[in-house]
């Protein structure tokens, strides 16, 4: 130490530089140590199955014997035999499932966003029993989907269901409705149950965003005499927009993958079949691992595409401070 001081400034600087780079190196090493478990776990539980599914989609694998398969290229997706086209992309059932899923996601997420905002605004207001209300509203979200779907199945039952009974007694309908079997009502019924179940989730996310808003700007708006409705559309909505879009993307991701709710409520009905239900049917019922994997791969691509479109359209930037 005394030596380096005695010999001048240069050695001190080089010591400092050496120390800094070793510090940087140890920081980088620490960073990798911390993210390594996550990277490994993600690679194992998400990366590997995804890669395997994509691989299977290019084979003729069957559920009977997963070890005996051949690479067949894009034939699961699209193939031509003697001038006729075959494969997933020509299957009207698949496109029907895609349409069902997109329609379901669009309608249910829209309704949930509007209702969730309304509920969040109510829960954000000060009223007695607010804490209890905030807890109670989460109950539909806390019930496992299979349980709530079964529960709704019974409530919607065409002969013994409480809903038909109530509507008959009120005189709103003349005959019981087969809610989940009737093609006209089946998909709407699924949407209704999904809205019942996931509105609390939206409300909770939006409530969190509302609680981040500064209170004083609302007082400024009161002094300015701005009508509350205008305050909502001109002040509140723009300010919670980033959080709202994140919530919408989360919900849309869930809705596009919807399986359990539809499967329990309507089984393999073609009228309500979603992309996931279709993939499961190919994979398990028809034992066509190749076609099922191709469907799963397309689900992955469709969801990725829709999310990217939403993010670009909504100018969502993760990681940027939401202001």
Partner 1 sequence: MADVVLKNVQKSFGRARVIHGVDLDIRDGEFVVFVGPSGCGKSTLLRLIAGLEDITGGDLFIGGERVTELPPAKRGIAMVFQSYALYPHMSVYDNMAFGLELAKSSKQEIDQRVREAARMLQIENLLDRKPRQLSGGQRQRVAIGRAIVRDPKVFLFDEPLSNLDAALRVQTRIEIAKLHTDTRATMIYVTHDQVEAMTLADRIVVLNAGRIEQVGSPLELYHRPANLFVAGFIGSPQMNFIECQVAGVGPDEVLVHLPNGSSVAVPVAPDGVQPGETLTLGVRPDHVQVSSRGPLTGRVELVEELGENHLLYVETGQGSRITVREPGDARHEAGSTVTLDLAPEFCHLFKTSGEALPARNRAAGSALSSPSRMTSSIA
The residues binding partner 1 (CB under 8 A) are 214, 216-217, 219-220, 222-227, 230, 234-235, 238-239, 323
Task: Name, in order, each residue with C-beta under 8 angstroms of 98's C-beta and a sequence gap of 6 or more.
Answer: 275, 302
Residue 241 CB, nearest approach to partner 1 (Å): 9
Residue 93 or 219 having the CB closest to partner 1:
219
Task: Name beta bridge partners: 86.
Answer: 79
Residue 134 CB, nearest approach to partner 1 (Å): 22
Residue 240 or 279 having the CB closest to partner 1:
240
b/e sequence 89-122, b meaning 16+ C-beta within 10 Å: eeeeebeebbebbbebbebbbebbbebbbebbee
Among the listed residues 252, 242, 248, the one whose alpha carbon sits nearest the alpha carbon of residue 210 = 242
For residues 254 and 194, is the Cβ–Cβ distance under 8 A? no
For residues 135 and 218, is the Cβ–Cβ distance under 8 A? no
Residue 68 or 216 having the CB closest to partner 1:
216
307 HSE (CA, 13 A, CB side): 19
Residue 19 or 234 having the CB closest to partner 1:
234
- DSSP structural state of residue 320: S
Write out the DSSP string of 152-195: HHHHT-TTT-HHHHHHHHHTS-SS---TTTSHHHHHHHHHHHHH
Residue 119 CB, nearest approach to partner 1 (Å): 24
Residue 205 CB, nearest approach to partner 1 (Å): 19
Residue 18 or 228 having the CB closest to partner 1:
228
Residue 320 CB, nearest approach to partner 1 (Å): 12
Token digits of residue 42: 């993600």
Residue 245 CB, nearest approach to partner 1 (Å): 14
Residue 240 CB, nearest approach to partner 1 (Å): 10
Among the listed residues 64, 52, 51, 59, the one whose alpha carbon sits nearest the alpha carbon of residue 76 = 59
Question: Pairing relation of β-strands 84-86 and 79-81?
Answer: antiparallel
For residues 52 and 296, is the Cβ–Cβ distance under 8 A? no
266 HSE (CA, 13 A, CB side): 26
Residue 49 or 238 having the CB closest to partner 1:
238
Residue 245 or 294 having the CB closest to partner 1:
245
Residue 314 CB, nearest approach to partner 1 (Å): 15
What is the number of helices (H) and of strands (E) in the chain?
Answer: 15, 2
CA distance 191 to 185: 10
CA distance 266 to 68: 34
Residue 36 or 237 having the CB closest to partner 1:
237
Residue 241 or 270 having the CB closest to partner 1:
241
Residue 220 CB, nearest approach to partner 1 (Å): 4
């Amino acid at each position: 130490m005394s030596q380096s001081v005695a010999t001048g400034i240069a050695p001190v600087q080089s010591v400092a530089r050496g120390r800094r780079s070793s510090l940087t190196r140890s920081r980088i090493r620490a960073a990798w140590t911390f993210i390594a478990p996550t990277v490994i776990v993600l690679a194992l539980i998400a990366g590997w199955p995804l890669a395997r599914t994509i691989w299977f989609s290019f084979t003729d694998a069957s559920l009977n014997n997963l070890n005996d398969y051949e690479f067949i290229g894009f034939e699961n997706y699209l193939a031509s035999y003697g001038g006729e086209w075959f494969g997933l992309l020509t299957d009207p059932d698949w496109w029907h499932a895609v349409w069902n899923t997109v329609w379901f996601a669009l309608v249910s997420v829209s309704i949930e966003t509007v209702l969730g905002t309304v509920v969040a605004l109510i829960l954000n207001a000060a009223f007695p029993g607010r804490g209890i209300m905030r807890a109670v509203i989460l109950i539909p979200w806390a019930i496992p989907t299979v349980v709530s779907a079964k529960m709704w199945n019974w409530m919607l039952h065409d002969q013994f269901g409480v809903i038909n009974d109530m509507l008959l007694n009120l005189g709103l309908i003349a005959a019981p409705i087969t809610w989940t079997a009737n093609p006209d009502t089946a998909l709407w019924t699924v949407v209704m149950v999904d809205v019942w179940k996931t509105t609390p989730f939206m409300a909770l996310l939006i409530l969190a965003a509302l609680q981040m808003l500064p209170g004083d700007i609302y007082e400024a708006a009161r002094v300015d005499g701005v009508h509350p409705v205008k305050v909502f559309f001109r002040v509140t909505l723009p300010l919670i927009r980033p959080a709202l879009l994140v919530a919408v993307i989360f919900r849309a991701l869930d809705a596009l993958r919807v399986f359990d709710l539809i499967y329990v409520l309507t089984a393999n009905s073609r009228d309500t079949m979603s992309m996931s239900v279709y993939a499961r049917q190919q994979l398990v019922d028809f034992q066509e691992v190749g076609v099922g994997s191709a469907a799963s791969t397309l689900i992955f691509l469709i969801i990725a595409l829709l999310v990217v479109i939403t993010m670009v359209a909504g100018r969502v930037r993760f990681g940027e401070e939401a202001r």
